Structure 1
Amino acid sequence: MATPEPTTTHSNDAPIWSPPLPPAEGFEHLVVSTPGLRTHLAAIGEGEPVVMLHGFPQHWWQWHAIAPVVAEAGYRVLCPDLRGAGWTAADDLRIGRETRLRDLLAIFDALGIDRAHLVSHDMGAITALQLSYEHPLRVRTAVQLSVPPGFMAFSPKVMPGFRHLPAFIWHKPGASLRQTFAPPYVAHPMHEAAIEAHLAPMRRPEIDRAVRRLTRGMILPEAMRLARGAYRRRRLTVPTLIAVGRQDYPWAENLEHIARHPERHADHVELAYIDNAAHFVTDDNPSAVAELILDWLTRAT
């Protein structure tokens, strides 16, 4: 049986989305249909593609204050809702370690993207990391936010950085994730409207159930690979900027220690810190994140 050709449809009619999409000016909304998956994607601007991969429990709207700034500089910014998040719908609800990687490659092919700049945060950085190592010719440059490099050296000092995982592993359907957006993960109190925007898709049972599937099927297996040093035995060839918020405990205090001697593991890696920001850097200080991205796009190409 022939594989259906991927298709892309434009759908800016917000009322068709359930729940309604959060407000964000200047974006067009697409549905990219690939076998078994209908990916919602928000796009803005024209030029070289910059693909932004959201963290958890977030979606395309995470980039609503950053993507327009990058687009204004002459880029086509694409913000997909990855499987198990946002307004994307999947026929098969199972999620494995590389499921999102395969999804992303299918989206690239459907949109005719040979190579793209890659910006990622939190859980989205897992997929970005996999793409950079497994398919480096598809990535021009990478910016990785709030997550250590794949070649990190394990240290007991970073164990508190995984303190959030038990709640996700044993997430109960309907349980609130509001505390995810509270200290110590944010440097400044997040506005109620922003929390509601981030968590809106959790009202979809498919997305609520994906919390366990993502944690158990993708995060834990990849975390074990990091602990075993799987990426330390490989070389990263994609120019990559690793940036964390200065108030992101324990990563900010330990980043230079666990990522020491990057030249042994990568062709071009730099470390950076974002002031007035904790884990959710795109909410705490979006202007600084946008500036950091544009500077890297200029310097690393």
Structure 2
Amino acid sequence: MEGTHRVVSGGGRRIHLVEQGAGPLVLLVHGFPESWYSWRHQLPVLAAAGYRAVAIDVRGYGRSGGPADPDAYRMAELVEDNAFVVRALGEETAVVVGHDWGSVIAANSALLRPDVFRAVGLLSVPYAPRGGPRPSDVFAGMGGEEFYVSYFQEAGRAEAEIEPDVRGWLAGFYAAFSGDTLPGPGAPDPHFVGAGGTLKERFPAGRLPGWLGERDLDVYAGEFERTGLTGALNRYRNMDRDWEDLAAYDGAAITQPSLFAGGGLDASTTWLADAIAAYPVTLPGLVSSHLLDGCGHWIQQERPDEINELLVGWLDALPAV
């Protein structure tokens, strides 16, 4: 895949990105535990369709800055990172598309900076407005076992599990939430940690998902072996801060043109089915919503051709810049 790597920096921000093509700017924001490389199938297709496609490393990942202060990973900072990238690239506006945590970051970018982000595409994780109880209280009440988000929120705990074998852990994590390698019926749910246990105990072993080649895994593992996982995990450690920071946006709708696509086998879409059902209220600018049968969580990598077709069709139909 051809593409230009560059770093934009200023005002204490340092963001690594890969760009391809010319035309209206489309900013691509990855999730956990990934990198700009998650968009390797989208960059050339969007470029060929007449767009300037830019995939970033979110702060704490890859070659982007990774502040030591956990507070630096709050949502408001990540939104401003995105706006900074748009300005640094000499643009005034962009379409923002995100996957997993990137979907949440993209949604909040559109919500907090409508002056910059004129449309938003959401993959895998639906938009759910800020509201309800404090997130840590919600996750603490999810059944008799510990939810993975709570597990990730404790500083150093997940790192102790992951970092001795980054490549093996990533392979298991990707497999646990892929459509073709999900744990079978009756298997312990890998979203939860048993008492005194670890997440990896519930990962399927011995087989990579079809979308993930050995070279792809090498790319992901190489980045996290170099940076560690703390920067990435700090996103989970700011969910209560975000809930406090975004109080003024309680229940707020995103009005820009939007697109949603999720996997039919992804717990992000099944658990948040009510959020999808609420889109007429919460995403009044929604152009289309799609659930891909048999697809897991890593949607733009599991089903790149389908996602590329959806994205290009949606982008082509947006009002001209």
Does TM, scored on the shorter chain, surpass 0.5? Answer: yes
In structure 2, relative to structure 1, the CA distance for the partners of 1:192 and 1:44 (3 Å cut) is same
Report what 1:135 is aligned to: 113
Unaligned runs of 5+ in 2: 133-137, 181-208
**Identity among equivalent pairs (%):** 26
1:174-213 matches, within 5 Å, as: 174-175=163-164, 176=166, 177-178=169-170, 179-183=172-176, 185-188=177-180, 189=209, 190-205=212-227, 207-213=228-234
Please, which moves more after superposition, 258-267 or 189-198?
A: 258-267
- Residue type at the aligned position of 1:150: A
Rounded Cα–Cα distance in structure 1 between residues aligned with 2:83 and 2:229? 25
Residue-by-residue CA offset, 1:73-112 (whole Å, 9 max, x unaligned):
0000011111001111345554232221122222222212
SS of the aligned residue for 1:136 comes to coil
Q: In structure 2, what is the equivalent of residue 81 of structure 1?
A: 57
Aligned with residue 172 of structure 1, among 135, 159, 174: 159
Of the three residues 259, 274, 281, the one matched with 2:276 is 259
Asked if structure 1 preserves the Cα contact closer than 8 Å seen for 2:29 and 2:98, the reply is yes
Structure 1 residues 26 and 285: alpha-carbon distance in aligned structure 2, compared to 1, 3 A threshold: same
Partner of 2:185: none
The aligned amino acid for 2:235 is L
Task: Report whether the alignment pairs 1:31 with 2:7.
Answer: yes
| C-alpha distance 257-101 of structure 1, shift in aligned 2 (>3 A) | closer
Which segment drifts farther, 60-69 or 90-99?
Answer: 90-99
* Aligned residue among 103, 121, 132 for 2:99: 121
Aligned AA (2:214): E
> What's the counterpart of residue 293 of structure 1?
311
What's the CA shift for 1:28? 0.7
1:52-131 superposed matches below 5 A: 52-90=28-66, 92-94=68-70, 95-97=72-74, 98-131=76-109
Assess if the C-alpha contact under 8 Å between 1:36 and 1:91 holds in 2. no
TM-aligned CA deviation for residue 193 of structure 1: 2.4
Tell me which moved more, 89-98 or 285-294.
89-98
Structure 1 gap ranges (5+): 1-24
> What is the identity, as a one-letter code, of the residue corresponding to 1:77?
A
Inter-partner Cα distance in structure 1 for 2:276 and 2:290: 12
* Residue in 2 that maps onto 1:247: 265
The root-mean-square deviation of aligned C-alpha atoms, in Å, is 3.0
- TM-score, normalising length: structure 1: 0.79
Asked if structure 2 preserves the Cα contact closer than 8 Å seen for 1:242 and 1:271, the reply is yes
Q: CA deviation at 1:200?
A: 1.8
2:17/2:36 contact within 8 Å kept? yes
The match for 2:292 among 274, 279, 289 is: 274
Instruction: Give the letter for the 2:159 counterpart.
Output: K
Cα deviations across residues 41-78 of structure 1 (Å, max 9, x unaligned)? Answer: 10001111000001111111111111111110000001
Distance (Å, rounded) in 2 between the aligned partners of 1:187 and 1:240 = 25
Code of the residue aligned with 1:99 in structure 2: it is E
Q: Secondary structure at the match of 1:137?
A: coil
Say whether the 8 Å CA contact 2:93–2:116 is kept in structure 1: yes
Residue 236 (structure 2) aligns with = 215
Q: Distance in 2 between matches of 1:86 and 1:30?
A: 12
What secondary structure, in the 3-state scheme, does the structure 2 residue paired with 1:112 have? coil
Structure 1 residues 164 and 289: alpha-carbon distance in aligned structure 2, compared to 1, 3 A threshold: farther
Amino acid across the alignment from 2:14: R
- Cα 1:100/1:152, change in 2 over 3 Å: closer
Q: Whole-Å Cα distance in 1 between the matches of residues 34 and 313 of structure 2?
A: 25
Question: 2 CA distance for matches of 1:82 and 1:208?
Answer: 13
TM-score (norm 2): 0.74
| Aligned 8 A contact 1:39 1:82 in 2 | yes
